[in-house]
Homo-oligomer: A and B are copies of this chain.
Amino acid sequence: MRLLIYRYMAGRDAAMALSDIENAFTKVDRTTLYRTLKTFEEKGVVHQIEDGTGISKYALCEPGCNCSIEQDLHLHFHCSNCGETVCLTEHKIPQINLPEGYLAEDVNLVVTGLCEKCST
């Protein structure tokens, strides 16, 4: 099952909600997907994305990504038209300077707008 889920995710280029995967595999239970994604995340296979919709999305990590150890540095784009959320892995989050006393552990940057498919 994990292999099937992994292959499905590898074939998609946008981030997926749990329900997306659920619809692609009518025969598997939500719970299995939920726990599989949790395992994947712990093992650094996928990373969870909070795009502001309130629905967690998941995407495979790039080869060489070590987001299970340190922070995930690339930004995410959420299209307000088609609803898709994509990883812009080439676009790293710039250095943020914080006020005195603040200690950064993780940075999450989400740009909302129109994606390449919807902007024309």
For chain A, the count of residues having a C-beta within 8 Å of the partner chain is 34
| CB pair A96 B75 closer than 8 Å | yes
Which applies to chain A's interface (DSSP): helix, strand, loop or mixed? strand
A81, chain B: closest CB distance, angstroms: 10
Residues 83-120 of chain A, each 1 if its beta carbon lies under 8 Å from chain B, else 0? 00000101100101111111111111111111110011
CA A118 to CA B10, docked complex, whole Å: 40
Identical subunits present: 2
Task: Find out whether the CB atom of A99 lies under 8 angstroms from the CB atom of B88.
Answer: yes
Asked, given contacts A110-B108, A112-B106, A113-B106, whether A91 binds B99 with beta carbons under 8 Å apart, the answer is yes
A7 to chain B, nearest CB (A): 26
**Is A50 part of the binding interface, using a Cβ–Cβ cutoff of 8 Å?**
yes
A40: Cβ under 8 A from any B Cβ? no
